[in-house]
Amino acid sequence: MRLQLKHSPRSILNQQFNVDFKGYSPIEVDRFLDEIIRDYEEFDKTIETQQSLLLKLQKENAHLQALVVELQSKQSVSSAPEGLSQSDVLKRLAKLEEKLYKQNND
């Protein structure tokens, strides 16, 4: 979200002031406004740099999250013994539970 500023470097540069008797020194005002313009330009550069860095990091984060999901799915698949289907694993588990139950009741 970009902050809405009232002035840009160009609007500051083009600003005209009325000169009154005993008013501010036009040279001092111009110098001050030139400093403000340089600050605005630096802020603009910083904001653009930070926004591009943010986008880069968001893309990298999304890529890493996809890798985590992929690795987790591979890990769950590889943790099951080779050649056994899910039903084979459930049957084996049921037999082991039955033996364990018999041992605890004896």
- State pTM to two decimals: 0.52
- What's the average pLDDT block by block, 10 residues per block, for the chain (106 residues)? 71 78 80 88 92 95 90 73 73 80 70
Domain map (residue ranges) of the chain: 9-105
C-alpha dist (Å) from residue 38 to 17, 30, 77, 105: 20, 12, 59, 84
DSSP letter string, 5-70: -S--HHHHHH------TT---HHHHHHHHHHHHHHHHHHHHHHHHHHHHHHHHHHHHHHHHHHHHH
Residue 100, classed as helix, strand or coil, is helix
